[in-house]
Amino acid sequence: MLAELVPGQAKRDIATGQAKSILSTVRPRDIAGKTRRRIAAEELAELVAVETKINKATGELKAIVLAHGSPLMDLHGVGPVVAARVLADVGDVARFADGNRFASGTGTAPLDASSGEQNRHRLCREPTDEPHDHIAAITQIRLDTEGRVYYRRKRAEGKKPLEAIRCLKSRISGAIYRQLLDDARAAADHSLGTGPGGHCGTLRISHFPDPEKRR
């Protein structure tokens, strides 16, 4: 709508505040233009209402994650929504015997998809597969993070975009698993009255080995 009303000024990805500013400058004189502006204003109002609900829900999720005591949100790309989803989906991390089982349970375990002379892997697509690792990976690639450096290194090694993203998602899965283990140990120590018990606190993704090298 904005692209039609203000050709060349409305970008594809803009915030509602930016849309409001652009729309406020539109003063069409013809009936078609006035109708488009009215419809655009109505749709923008609906988006603002939805955005307000999302922000409120996100705030509530952040409060829940903080109350849980897990520093998952310190990991690049893991915000309140992703952290809350991880905690809800995983539950007791002890039910996973190791990082590989955790990766299988979250859909980030690589499966052999080689054919002929092509040697490649794809992600496991289990019923429990959730997109939290994907969200974190895409966020890291978009921002100036170690995840972006890692992704670009994999691309430079000859991996295709999806394969490089798979490697990054596997690495993020390992970081999340280790953090959940630390959280569980800290909770156990606290219940025994022994203090933090070596809780590592914030974990950066560089602390975990390259999943490609493990194979």
- Residue 193: the pLDDT is 67
Same domain, 80 and 112: yes
* Any domain includes 46: yes
- Both 153 and 179 in one domain: the answer is yes
**Model-level pTM?**
0.64
User: What is the model's pLDDT at position 199?
Assistant: 43
The answer to whether position 74 is within a domain reads yes
Q: Are 38 and 127 within one domain?
A: no
How many domains does the chain fold into? 2
Q: Are residues 52 and 129 in the same domain?
A: no
Torsion of CA 55, 57, 58, 59, to 10 degrees: 90
Residue 113: inside a domain: yes
Answer whether residue 65 is part of any domain.
no
Looking at the structure, tell me whether residues 28 and 75 fall in a common domain: no
Per-residue model confidence (pLDDT) at position 157: 94
pLDDT reported for residue 8: 75
- Residue 80 falls within a domain, yes or no? yes
The candidate with the shortest Cα–Cα distance to 146, out of 137, 159, 155, is 137
Series of mean pLDDT values for 10-residue runs along the chain (215 residues): 77 82 89 91 95 95 91 90 88 86 71 51 46 84 92 94 90 90 85 55 42 48
Residues 30 and 108 occupy one common structural domain: no
Question: Do 48 and 19 lie in a common domain?
Answer: yes
Whether 63 is covered by a domain: the verdict is no
Looking at residue 197, its pLDDT comes to 46
Q: Which domain holds residue 92?
A: 70-214
Same domain, 79 and 38: no
Q: Is residue 43 situated within a structural domain?
A: yes
Q: Residue 88 to residues 47, 92, 107, 146: CA-CA distances in angstroms? A: 28, 9, 16, 27
Answer yes or no: do 126 and 205 share one domain.
yes
The sign one gets for the Cα dihedral 130, 136, 137, 141 is positive
pLDDT value of position 184: 87
Question: What per-residue confidence (pLDDT) applies to 135?
Answer: 87
- Rounded Cα–Cα distance for residues 86 and 90 (Å): 6
| CA 6 remoteness from chain centre | 33
Same domain assignment for residues 10 and 116: no
CB under 8 A, 24+ apart: contacts of 29-34: 33/5
Do 119 and 191 reside in the same domain of the chain?
yes
Per-residue model confidence (pLDDT) at position 116: 52
Residue 64 in any domain: the answer is: no
